[in-house]
Amino acid sequence: MAKKQVNDDALITTIISGIEDVKGKETTILDLREIDNTVCDYFIICEGTSNTQVNAIVNSIQKKVSKELKDKPWHIEGEDNAEWVLMDYVNVVVHVFQKHIREYYDIESLWGDAKTTLIESKF
């Protein structure tokens, strides 16, 4: 059975809302569609201040996407230590970092050719 296609814009909006619900910080969207040989169309990157908040962000995203779009991630990695959790929604990959891990890997710089959109925090 094929995975149901969810509109990327609706998925991104719902993910951002899930991040904001639990006060995730420094949310950035990287549009990778113009770059050759990428694994997905978008990265959404955000950070939490602790393992607890990183897990809360991941849970919030999962619940919101499941409830509103009836979709779930294809794969999730990193929940055990909650320093960098990757949520793979196929076309959209979400990276939820703790600040020091985000700074260390600096994936925004690795994908410097991507169109970047910074989401203004509501708090």
Least Cα distance to 87 among 69, 106, 74, 100 occurs for 74
CATH of the domain at 41: 3.30.460.10
CA angle 76, 95, 37 (to 5 degrees): 90
**Residue 5: band (very low, low, confident or very high) from pLDDT cuts 50, 70, 90:** low
> Which residue is listed with tokens 């260390």?
104
* 36 located within any domain: yes
* 82 located within any domain: yes
The confidence score (pLDDT) of residue 6 equals 62
The boundaries of the domain holding residue 102 are 8-111
What percentage of residues in the chain have a pLDDT greater than 70? Answer: 93
Q: What is the mean pLDDT of residues 3-27?
A: 87
List pLDDT tens digits, range 72-123.
Answer: 999 999 999 999 999 999 999 999 999 999 999 999 999 888 999 999 876 5
List pLDDT tens digits, range 16-37.
Answer: 999 999 999 999 999 999 998 8
* 58 located within any domain: yes
**What is the tally of structural domains in the chain?**
1
* 62 located within any domain: yes
CB atoms within 10 A of CB 115: 13
**3-class SS letters over the chain:** CCCCCCCHHHHHHHHHHHHHHCCCEEEEEEECCCCCCCCCCEEEEEEECCHHHHHHHHHHHHHHHHHHHCCCCCEEECCCCCCEEEEECCCEEEEEEEHHHHHHHCHHHHCCCCEEEECCCCC
Highest mean pLDDT pick, 3-7, 36-40, 92-96: 92-96
